[in-house]
């Protein structure tokens, strides 16, 4: 099987069926706090900021960074993710063209 049919959204075929039997939760993240590569696997740790009041600073709320997700992927998946994110970021950050 050509795995690019699964990992590349531009090559997904009609016969590839993706399910969510475990109802994996959606997680919002604020930061990439760690990234590395070992034995052919890319490792990414994503964090989110919790805004929790502290006893020492009753009127101040400080950000508390906590690990929200740990991603592991092979190089091909990482390349597809990079390409997809690049396309979205380029499309969403383009300045509107000026009309003459």
- Residue-wise pLDDT for 11-43, tens only, equals 656 677 889 999 999 999 999 999 999 999 999
Q: Is the pTM of this model over 0.85?
A: no
- Residue 86, SS3 per DSSP: helix
- Side-chain half-sphere exposure of 5, counting CA atoms within 13 A: 8
CA–CA separation, 68 vs 27, rounded Å?
A: 7
Average pLDDT, the chain: 83
Spans of all domains in the chain: 29-78
Question: Sheet of 31-38: strands edge to edge?
Answer: 31-38, 41-53, 61-74
> Between these two residues, 91 and 63, which has the higher pLDDT value?
91
Going through 1-100 in order, the beta strands assigned E by DSSP cover 31-38, 41-53, 61-74
């Amino acid at each position: 099987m050509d795995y690019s049919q699964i990992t590349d959204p531009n090559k997904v075929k009609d016969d590839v069926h993706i399910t969510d039997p475990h109802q994996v939760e959606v997680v919002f993240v604020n930061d990439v706090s760690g990234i590395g590569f070992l034995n052919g696997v890319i490792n990414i740790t994503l964090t989110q900021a919790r805004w929790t009041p502290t006893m020492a600073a009753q009127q101040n709320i400080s950000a508390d960074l906590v690990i929200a997700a740990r991603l592991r992927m092979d190089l091909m998946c990482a390349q597809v993710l990079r390409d997809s994110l690049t396309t979205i970021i380029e499309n969403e950050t383009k300045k509107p063209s000026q009309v003459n």
